[in-house]
Amino acid sequence: MTARRAAYQVVLRVFEDDAYADRVVRTAAANLDARDRALAQRLAFGTVQRVRTLDHAITTLGKRPVRKLDPPVRAALRLGAYQLGFTDVAVHAAVNETVELVRQARLERAVAFTNAVMRRLSEGIPGLLASLRDDTPTDAALKHSYPDWVAELWWNELGRDDALALMRAQNEPPERVVRVNRRKHGTVEGRPDPDFPDALHVDRVEEAALDAGLIWPQSRGSQLAGLAVGARAGERTLDLCAAPGGKATQLEGEVVAVELHPGRARELEENCRRLGADNVAVVNADATELPPELTGFDRVLVDAPCSGLGVLAGRPDLRWRAHPLPELQTQLLRVAAERVKPGGTILYAVCTINAEENEAVVDASGLKAAPLGDEWPQFSHPRRPEFLLTLPHLHHTSGFFIARLTT
C-alpha cells in the first residue's frame, strides 16, 4: 500500500459508496508510516474537497464527461488532476501513478485513455484554473469547489469578500489543536493559546498522549462552546447530543450525556473513561423522547446536528452532503426548555455558518438571549453581538454559532 493508493481508495469509496472520508482514510492508511499517512490524507481530502473544480478540468481537457467514466478511472483521474492542479508533486510522478492505479484496477483498455487525459491535464490545468473567475456566487462555487447553494448563502449573509475568504479558508487544512485534559497529569508539548486556557497548538496529535487521555483533539471554536456552557461544580448539566464527548468532558459538576445511536453511545462511554470524566453518565436515548426523570437541570447543552458549514476544512465530503436542519434544532431547543429548571440556562451551539440554523432558530424559540458577546468580544457575532460566531477566515478555527439562553 502506498500513500497514493490509499488516497485513491478514499476517493473511490466516498463518491461511489457514499462513505465518509475521515473513516475510510483511517482504514486505508492504517499500515502506512506517519509521513505517508499524512500524505494520503492530504491527497484524499484535497481531492474530495476540490472535486467540482477537478471534474470541470477533466471534462474540459479530457473531452469526455466525468459521469461517463468507469468509477476506478474517474477516481484515479480526480486524484491525478488534484496533484497536477493543487500540489507540487512532480508531473511525471502524478501521471505515472495515475496510469498505474487504472492498470491495477484491471482496466487495461482504459490505460491509454487515462495516460492521454493526464498528459492534457498536465499541459492545460494551470491555465484552466487561472482562467476561472469568482465575480458571482455561481462562478465562485466552481472555482473554489462548493455547491451553488453554499456560495449563494455566504454571499448573501457575509458579502462577496468575506464569502470568498471563507471559501478559501475551508479549502485549507484545519488548525491542529488539542485540549489538555486537566483531570490527568502528564507532559504535552505544544504552543499555548492566548484565548483558551486548555488549548494547545501542536504539530501533530501524539497517539500516546491521546491513548493515555492526556489530550482530546478539539478545535478552539468547539472549546469555546464548551466553555460558554459555564457548568460549575455542584450543578447538573444535560448534554442532549453528546457524542463523541469533547464538550461533555469539558464540563464540571454532574453531567448526563445523551446519545441516540448505540455505537456512538459506546464510543462516548469509552472516551469518558479514557479522559477520566467520571462525572459524566451516558444515556443511550432519543433526545426528543427522554425519560421523565431527566429534568430540573441547572444547564442544558444543545450541541445540535446541523449542516456543518463551519467544519468543512476537516470534513471534506460534508459540503457534498450537507443540508440545513432547522426543524430538528427547534425541536431540541424545545426539549431543553422543558428539561432546564427555572432560572437555568441553555447553551445552543451549532458548527455552521447559516442564519437559518443559527439566529433564526433562536429567535423562533421564544427564549431570551444572554449577552455572550460581552464575555467574549473577540468572537462576537458581527450582526447580533449577543451571540458568538467564530469564522474560519477570521479566527482561524472551526465555525461555531453559540447562544446562551434562558426561559
pLDDT of the residue at 214? 97
Angle, CA 29 vertex, CA 74 and CA 305 arms, to 5°: 80
Separation of first and last alpha carbons in the chain: 56
C-alpha cell at 151: 456560495
Q: Give catalytic residue positions.
A: 351
The answer to whether the bond into 192 is cis (omega within 30° of 0) is no
In 10 A of CB 321, how many CB atoms? 13
- Short-list 29, 28, 7, 11, CA closest to 19: 11
User: Has residue 280 got a pLDDT over 90?
Assistant: yes
Domain range list for the chain: 3-132, 219-406
CATH number for 219-406 (one of 3.40.50.150, 3.20.20.140, 3.40.50.1780, 1.10.10.10): it is 3.40.50.150
SS3 for 347-385, per residue? Answer: EEEECCCCCCCCHHHHHHHCCEEECHHHHCHHHECCCCC
Q: Report the C-alpha gap between 78 and 76 in whole angstroms.
A: 5
pLDDT tens by residue, 319-368? 999 999 999 999 999 999 999 999 999 999 999 999 999 999 999 999 99
The residue-averaged pLDDT of 81-107 equals 95
Using CB atoms within 10 A of its CB, is residue 181 exposed (0-12), middle (13-18) or buried (19+)? buried
pLDDT tens by residue, 53-83? 999 999 999 999 999 999 999 999 999 999 9
pLDDT confidence tier of residue 303, bands split at 50, 70 and 90: very high
Name the 3-class secondary structure at 87. coil
The residue-averaged pLDDT of 152-160 equals 98
User: Which helix (H) or strand (E) segment is 302 a member of?
Assistant: strand 297-303
Count Cα atoms within 13 angstroms, Cβ side, for 381: 21
pLDDT of the residue at 388? 98
pLDDT confidence tier of residue 1, bands split at 50, 70 and 90: confident
Angle, CA 258 vertex, CA 253 and CA 264 arms, to 5°: 120
To the nearest whole percent, how much of the chain has pLDDT over 90?
Answer: 99
Strands in 40-183 per DSSP E: 177-180
Q: Which residues, 6 or more positions from 20, have their beta carbon under 8 angstroms from its beta carbon?
A: 14, 315, 317
Count Cα atoms within 13 angstroms, Cβ side, for 19: 18
Fold of the domain spanning 3-132: N-utilizing Substance Protein B Homolog; Chain A (1.10.940)
pLDDT tens by residue, 226-261? 999 999 999 999 999 999 999 999 999 999 999 999
The residue-averaged pLDDT of 105-115 equals 93
Q: Report the C-alpha gap between 353 and 389 in whole angstroms.
A: 8
